[in-house]
Structure 1
Amino acid sequence: MSIDRSTIETDLVAADLARPDDAIALVILAHGAGSNRDAVILRTMSDVLLARGVAVARIDLPYRQDRPKGPPSPSKAARDRDGIRAAINALAPLVDGPLIIGGHSYGGRQASMVVAEGTDGVDGLLLTSYPLHPPGKPERARTEHLPDIMIPTLIVHGRSDAFGTSAEFTDAVELFGGPVRLLEIDRADHSLKPDRSGVGDLTADAVVDWLLPTIADRPPNQTV
């Protein structure tokens, strides 16, 4: 299988796109706070999805485009969501098939908010290590927008993640407006330990075996 690789840089968009021949879908992945599109978890996800015929774009959020290091600013999170929307507009026309967006931790949270706010053309969400609340602060749950997410969502959670327990995620899944699958990874923390936990293959299998079929089964008027 040949793979076309390209880098796309426009206003608010910095992406590495890899497209297999006859790609069956496109996944756009954003990085966690303090990281960038070269993060090990994003590269791992890209490799395993590509092997299954799924095109993947790893993107730098606008705050990371502005500076090479440091965390995002809460006051500028809306601009990071604008960056995800810009990536959707730039990349979705390049690959036929369903569009899935998401990412790791902060990147996934912003992608989920983009969906909740009503972006057209997104068919599914892939959230790895969603930061359900800050470590040690379960009272600050980041769940207000979850009922507005109507599209199929795959959540990948390490059982040792300090940003949310398995029980808390089980409860949070019930808040979503659309179908959700929670994939839990044994012996994995917030990083998901992609070098030894098997999270890559487990996630790619869930995308192909559950997320894409669930998207295909949804009536067109149930996507956002």
Structure 2
Amino acid sequence: MDSPFMDDIAARLAERGISVVRFEFPYMAMRREDGKRRPPNPQKQLLECWRQVYAQLRAEIPGKLAIGGKSMGGRMASLLADELDADALVCLGYPFYAVGKPEKPRVAHLAELETPTLIIQGERDALGDRPTVSGYALSPAIRLHWLAAADHDLKPLKASGLTHEQHLKATAERVAEFLRNLPA
């Protein structure tokens, strides 16, 4: 695991009593081993990886189990949340569309999603800014929380007067609150 962002978020959630299990998709593990930048594995392989991880965790962890991730990891989790019967879904910096292609949204499944979902998104995210995303038909199961002036990594513009630290703290607080308030 070589994501300072995810290290930070996992630590902040742990401080709030939320356990986080992380895993790497195969292409990420290969990149870490040989240092070569690689494209993601095909979607079918990414989804199968998620299914295997979830099955293993579900067998070992009693009680509620939420899934999610940052960017593509969250998108893959969103494609499986209902199938896996996850208790919740949390996505940070959701890739609603590819960079520069808001006319080709990847949101059809989000209109039908039944799993309680929290998406935390920067208002100026290049993969899903507030004006564009506000026009999408999203399921009532989805709660969308916007971070002012923030980008895909939840970093705000300096001119906003906000800090990345403030946004990361707010993100952890919002995620912990969402998970604690899931229906029994």
Interval containing the TM-score (normalised by the shorter chain): 0.7 to 0.9
Match of 1:115 in 2: 81
Match of 1:183 in 2: 145
* Superposition deviation, residue 184 in structure 1: 1.4
Please give the alpha-carbon distance, in whole angstroms, between the structure 1 residues aligned to 2:81 and 2:93.
17
Contact 1:125 1:154 in 2 (8 A): yes
Change (3 A) 1:197 1:169: farther
Contact 1:108 1:127 in 2 (8 A): yes
Cα RMSD, aligned residues only: 2.1
Letter in 2 for 1:196: H
* Superposition deviation, residue 197 in structure 1: 4.2
Deviation per CA, 1:71-95, whole angstroms, max 9, x where unpaired?
214xx21111111111111123333
* TM-score relative to the length of structure 2: 0.84
* Superposition deviation, residue 66 in structure 1: 4.2
The answer to which structure has the higher helix fraction is: 2
* Superposition deviation, residue 169 in structure 1: 2.4
Match of 2:159 in 1: none
Structure 1 counterpart SS, 2:180: helix
Structure 1 counterpart SS, 2:91: strand
Change (3 A) 1:96 1:199: farther
The answer to which structure has the higher strand fraction is: 1
Match of 2:55 in 1: 89
Unmatched tracts of structure 1, length 5 or more: 1-36, 218-224
Q: How many residues align?
A: 174
* Superposition deviation, residue 103 in structure 1: 0.6
- State how 1:147-186 maps to structure 2 within 5 Å: 147-172=111-136, 174-176=137-139, 178-186=140-148
- State how 1:1-224 maps to structure 2 within 5 Å: 37-68=1-32, 69-73=37-41, 76-116=42-82, 118-120=83-85, 122-172=86-136, 174-176=137-139, 178-193=140-155, 196-213=164-181, 215-216=182-183
Please give the alpha-carbon distance, in whole angstroms, between the structure 1 residues aligned to 2:168 and 2:74.
16
Identity of aligned residues (%): 33
Please give the alpha-carbon distance, in whole angstroms, between the structure 2 residues aligned to 1:41 and 1:181.
22
Please give the alpha-carbon distance, in whole angstroms, between the structure 2 residues aligned to 1:59 and 1:198.
26
Unmatched tracts of structure 2, length 5 or more: 157-162
